[in-house]
Amino acid sequence: MRDTLLVVQIVLSILIVVSVLLQNRAEGMGGIFGGGGEIFRTKRGLEKFLYYATIVLTVLFASLSLIIVKLSN
């Protein structure tokens, strides 16, 4: 059981990395220093899906981590 949960956790971690890397970084380094000129921009389409998918995957990853710790004791 524990080994299966660890494999699922590895898969979730890979999916989180992929979803973060696929998100649009239109501002680049200029956004770090206050550049870019955009004050507000809504997320649409794939960008919105990736945003929410990243949140869901992260919550699942954290929950699974707590479950694995609980089963280890």
- Give the single-character DSSP code of 27: S
Rounded to two decimals, the pTM is 0.74
* pLDDT tens figures, 45-57: 888 889 999 999 9
Rounded Cα distance, 35 and 31, in Å:
5
Residue 45's pLDDT is 81
Tokens of 71: 């089963």
Looking at the predicted structure, is the pLDDT value of residue 29 above 90?
no
